[in-house]
Structure 1
Amino acid sequence: MTAFDSKAFLKSLSTHPGVYRMYDESNQLLYIGKAKNLKNRVSSYFRSSGLSGKTQALVQQIHHIEFTVTSSETEALLLEQTQIKNHRPPFNILMRDDKSYPYIFISASDYPQIEYSRGKKKRAGQYYGPYPNSNAVKETLSLLHKVFKLRQCDDNFFKNRSRPCLQHQISRCSAPCVAIISQEDYLKDVAAAQMFLRGQSSELLEQLQQKMDLAAEALNFENAAHLRDQLIQLRKIQEQQYVYGEQGDADVFALASRPGGIAVSVLFVRAGRVLGSRHYFPTDQLSDSHNETLEAFISQFYLASEGREIPAELITNLEISDPQPLIDAVQLLHKKRVTVSHQVRAYRARWLQLAITNAEQALISHLARKGTFEARFKALKQVLGLNFQPERLECFDISHSSGEATVASCVVMGKEGPIKSEYRKFNIEGIQAGDDYAAMKQALTRRYERLQKGEGKKPDILILDGGKGQLKQAQEVFKALAVTDVILLAVSKGTTRKQGFETLYLETTDQVFDLSSDSKALHLIEQVRDESHRFAIINHRHKRDKTRRTSGFESIPGIGPKRRQAILRFFGGQREALNASIQELAKVPGISAALAEQIYNHLHPEQ
């Protein structure tokens, strides 16, 4: 490779704001950056000392640099994030966060429906959030159903009811479908729920207290009792919530660093309520400055992701030297004015401290896990006698119920753990029921025929949950597709069928070996095998239950109609029962501790 002539390039480089793109010898894009002064910024990559190892690795690969001059730094920031999103260069911070955030949605209708929502906001109504994960939404919805009894059913179900459904019988809906509650009273409950979601808890409690007193004075004791119950529930909720401020929307960013990595935690605060947090572990940061890394992260968080809700204030634990380009870019792109704060006081300082604590704890856990995986990958290389260090494992498993609803799973494991964004499921069709070999062959073919088109990634090692038969299927598929340089490893349960005593088949059925139960390599193989098994079971059950139109409760061994009814009556609904722990399930009359554990494991195969 011819060395890049940086001196000649820099002589003619503009001093205006703009975006620069660095390419390697094969014209592959390596890095995209923005600059207030292109010449000064690009020159910093070619100084004689003070460069990090990652920056040096980038500079060594540079073959040529292209640039685009812009009229302002704000315009450069917008262009940079658009190009990062489109090209995803390997040396840029990559969010790897493809999932949209969940919301609570209240429809705009005569009798509004309240429900979980994810994705684009296309429907008429009010969206509340975002929430950091689906569990946070489900917990909030469960509380709202108990307190305000708003309908959950869709419009078709609602319009065709002639009598109240189970949700009304377990006091989770006021049954507006059959006019048990008037439209006026129902809309009052909707308004109260909206106040709660906006964080106006104190005002709501005061209003309910006044209404209860008036109802009692008017001798309307039934309504007064209803309002009393709402007050009691809301006060309990208020006591349990982690609330520092009475108002305010903010996203709080905290970056924590340790030798070996960094973590960025984002704390979501809406209407003064802390809804939760998400943690990110950027592995591709190029800047030597944590302040610049955090600034780049925040820029991509809002400017390179569609549908991101932006609060009025962004709070950071590290100072952003010049936040104005980010503020202007957000206003141009999202038509939203924001402020960026670093030094905050009172409850906002406590939000920031909570985010810092989350980032530090998340990083400690991440680094411990990362170290464990790296040690296991090294052990696997040694055990298999490889002349290279494997970095990507893929594993397949088949799941079905006596041939019904056959599903194949593919999970991906890297040196830092599971790569869940690359997991895939395959609905198997057109084979004889129960033929695991044909199912495996179909899944492998569908997965790896993309390699012939130059698409997809090739694993270093392919692990198959099965024995000689499954290994043979993989060999036939790879031969037909002309896929080479992939090591095949089949895992059989062995004669004892106990974990830790598996038999391994490498490449051919002639290379059979066992590993000791304390082997780190075996632990890695078992982990990816178990993860594949878990993912296959989850998707099989979803497919089977959808086909049968049954809930997960109806397929639990040993649980008949009476016990199902007892569980639902005890918890008040299926959602609440799904969120119950083993100890809570054991409190249900007729459910022993052993049966509670069986029920929990069936409903939560991923845990």
Structure 2
Amino acid sequence: MKDAVPFKKKIEEAPQQPGVYIFRSSDGRYIYIGKAKNLKKRLKGHYQQLRYDPKEQRIFSESDILEWIITKSDYEAFVLENELIKQYKPRYNIRLKSGSGYPMLVITDEEYPTVLISRKYGEIKGEYFGPFLPARTARAMKDLIHKLFKLRTCDPMPKRDVACFDYHLGLCSAPCTGKISKKDYNFDVKGAKAFLSGNVKKFIYQLYDRIEEYKQKMLFEKAAVVRDQITAMENLVHKQEVLGLPFEEGDILFFGGGEILLIVVRGYRIVGKEFLQLKGEGLKDEFVSKVLTEYYSKGNYIPSRIFINQNVEEKENIIRWLSDKKGSKVVLKTEIPEEIRQFIDRNFHFVDLDRLRNLFRKVFGFELPERIEGFDISTLQGSFTVGSCVVWEDGRMNKREYRRFKVKTVKGIDDYASLREVLYRRFKRYTEMETFPLVLIDGGKGQLKQGLTVRDALNLENLRIFSIAKKEEILFTDDGREIKLFEFQELLKLFTQIRDEAHRFAVSYNRKLREKEGLKEVLDKIEGVGKKRKEILYRTYKTLDRISQASVEELKKLGIPENVAQNIKKYLSD
């Protein structure tokens, strides 16, 4: 490690005042940025931890320059630190890979408001709703708002004499041509806000009054529109009552087993959930506060309540910072509401990594790898034979790393040969790696033997391979042991989770190939549909039902000639 004595001398010069300190390299890279109520005391703490904290050692080792900025207050230092981290992205500060710019819906603040999608809170003047997870639901909800409440689809609103096509499709009430009064339009805006916020019970009664009014005036088409609005809102109420949450809006960040689960509550119901992904190693004592500030620095909506299951070092500063950004009071609670806790217990399994590592070491005699890859084979009577590779990494399944394989060299039913092909193709990548994952194969001794054969052929001496038999849940190891996993519940959960996911992923790929082949066999019978057009249709629609529902105009937009599009429609309708 680089000599830290020069840093010790520099630290002695630090003031005992609040401020931000910066570690950076001589070539301009920012290594770490922190804040302190007392700069000298905090920097001395860093230096003392050098003896036993590897992350502190790397910070000092990679840094050439230590400097600081004195601020008037601790809160000013807190704000400046967050701005500098956002700007310079230091290597050893915690940052989020995900959680950036989730889409929200905005009812605009205009004479005739509309609904827009925004990924940054505050960039559009109006009332915000969301975020929506997954992101595609924001577009679907926007379309639903236009369909139910007819808010204008044009932006900005033009002056027209004739209503546009969206009016005739029932997606817009055409305020641009005066087809709706300002009073009635604002009533629809109020309905859209109630629907998006979940506060629909009181508004439903107003809708019932309106439907009676339209019936009396013989305006049955308008009454039908209101009936659709009532149905949608009553469905929303039903969902709320099933969940029964005691607060209208809030974000829940649940820290468990090295994972961070985000749950979004809006309108008294859970509207989204997602695991946040981290990058940057960070320091243990700053972890929770940095996750909070990083997430809400990304332009995400700040609700009136935030719940976490951890204590927070900078709680008062964070509350003040969030309240300033929101423009109103934000409550930060360090306990999870019981209703949410029950939801998490029912739907998620968090791994205690420290406990799992200790048990793994005790049972197998080596350290739990950071990465485990699970393999399985799926076939249908020797056809569409495929293999799957799923990845468990640092406590959870990492779906971005999953891989799937079409078996190319095996004809007919031969699971062992198919497994050898898949493993060989995957293990060849291991030859370029310094450290190997642990391999888990779905199956018994026979499947394990195939893995060992491929390992030996590629001279991967240090690669460890296990297999797991169904029902009995016996784990077979490459050193000849048979471990009954029912005696070790944490290991049972780990290995069966990976095995079941490998099986699911292989079966789903096999089914997808069969559906694709079946679709292409049907399309082969349609005049004008060749290989290229079959691929276009499959990539776009996936199923025959979706192709049959597409209009001729939609098919033409894909580059399919009108006469061929008509052939497709006629054949599928027949």
Superposed counterparts of 1:40-439, under 5 Å? 40-47=41-48, 56=53, 58-59=55-56, 64=61, 65-67=63-65, 69=67, 73=77, 74=79, 76-81=81-86, 87=91, 89=92, 93=94, 95=96, 97=98, 101=102, 129-133=130-134, 148=148, 184=173, 194-199=192-197, 201=200, 205=204, 208-221=207-220, 223-224=222-223, 227-228=226-227, 230-238=229-237, 240-241=239-240, 252=251, 266=262, 268=264, 275-276=271-272, 286-288=283-285, 293-303=287-297, 309-311=300-302, 315=306, 320-323=315-318, 337-339=325-327, 341-343=329-331, 355-357=336-338, 369-371=350-352, 381-384=361-364, 386-388=365-367, 390=369, 392-413=371-392, 417-421=395-399, 423-428=401-406, 430-434=408-412, 436-437=415-416, 439=418
What's 1:169 paired with?
Answer: none
Q: In the aligned structure 2, how far is the partner of 1:255 from the partner of 1:427?
A: 35
- Contact 2:214–2:223 (CA under 8 A) maintained in structure 1: yes
Q: 1:272 to 1:361 in 2, by over 3 A?
A: closer
2:506 paired with 1:536: yes
Secondary structure class of the residue paired with 2:315: coil
Secondary structure class of the residue paired with 1:409: strand
Q: In the aligned structure 2, how far is the partner of 1:326 from the partner of 1:447?
A: 49
- Contact 1:462–1:487 (CA under 8 A) maintained in structure 2: yes
Q: CA deviation at 1:388?
A: 4.5
- Contact 2:319–2:330 (CA under 8 A) maintained in structure 1: no
Q: In the aligned structure 2, how far is the partner of 1:539 from the partner of 1:486?
A: 27
Q: 1:540 to 1:370 in 2, by over 3 A?
A: same
- Contact 1:215–1:223 (CA under 8 A) maintained in structure 2: yes
Q: In the aligned structure 1, how far is the partner of 2:356 from the partner of 2:34?
A: 39
Deviations 1:360-394 (A, max 9, x none): 668989998535x766665555554x355555432
Q: In the aligned structure 2, how far is the partner of 1:223 from the partner of 1:400?
A: 55
Q: In the aligned structure 1, how far is the partner of 2:233 from the partner of 2:507?
A: 39
Larger Rg: 2
Of 461, 464, 468 in structure 1, the residue corresponding to residue 441 of structure 2 is 464
Deviations 1:477-509 (A, max 9, x none): 545655442212234x4xxxx6116573525xx
Uncovered stretches (5+) of structure 1, i.e. residues with no partner:
24-28, 107-113, 120-125, 151-175, 332-336, 345-351, 551-573, 576-607
Q: In the aligned structure 2, how far is the partner of 1:178 from the partner of 1:302?
A: 38
Structure 2 counterpart of 1:33, one-letter code: I
Secondary structure class of the residue paired with 1:322: helix
What's 2:478 paired with?
Answer: 506
What's 2:515 paired with?
Answer: 545
Structure 1 counterpart of 2:402, one-letter code: R
Q: CA deviation at 1:192?
A: 8.4
Deviations 1:73-104 (A, max 9, x none): 555424434665x84x5xx5465647985778
Q: CA deviation at 1:340?
A: 7.3
Q: 1:438 to 1:367 in 2, by over 3 A?
A: closer
2:471 paired with 1:488: no
- Contact 2:302–2:322 (CA under 8 A) maintained in structure 1: no
Structure 1 counterpart of 2:351, one-letter code: K
What's 1:7 paired with?
Answer: 8
Q: CA deviation at 1:149?
A: 11
Structure 1 counterpart of 2:85, one-letter code: E
Deviations 1:530-585 (A, max 9, x none): 232123223433444345459xxxxxxxxxxxxxxxxxxxxxxx99xxxxxxxxxx
Question: What root-mean-square deviation, in Å, do the aligned CA atoms of Structure 1 and Structure 2 show?
Answer: 5.9
Deviations 1:238-281 (A, max 9, x none): 354257788xxx7545678xxx9798665535578763555779
What's 2:34 paired with?
Answer: 34
Deviations 1:414-443 (A, max 9, x none): 5x7433255412242643455545654454
- Contact 1:19–1:38 (CA under 8 A) maintained in structure 2: no
Q: CA deviation at 1:46?
A: 3.2
Uncovered stretches (5+) of structure 2, i.e. residues with no partner:
72-76, 108-114, 121-126, 151-164, 521-544, 547-574
Q: In the aligned structure 2, how far is the partner of 1:190 from the partner of 1:548?
A: 46
Q: In the aligned structure 2, how far is the partner of 1:312 from the partner of 1:501?
A: 45
- Contact 2:211–2:223 (CA under 8 A) maintained in structure 1: yes
Q: 1:207 to 1:391 in 2, by over 3 A?
A: same
Q: 1:514 to 1:404 in 2, by over 3 A?
A: same
Q: In the aligned structure 2, how far is the partner of 1:58 from the partner of 1:30?
A: 15
Q: CA deviation at 1:299?
A: 2.1
Secondary structure class of the residue paired with 2:317: coil
- Contact 1:255–1:262 (CA under 8 A) maintained in structure 2: no
- Percentage of matched positions with identical amino acids: 22
Secondary structure class of the residue paired with 2:436: coil
Q: In the aligned structure 2, how far is the partner of 1:30 from the partner of 1:447?
A: 37
Q: 1:117 to 1:418 in 2, by over 3 A?
A: farther
Secondary structure class of the residue paired with 2:471: coil
Structure 2 counterpart of 1:295, one-letter code: S
Q: 1:22 to 1:390 in 2, by over 3 A?
A: farther
- Contact 2:319–2:331 (CA under 8 A) maintained in structure 1: no
Of 13, 17, 20 in structure 2, the residue corresponding to residue 17 of structure 1 is 20
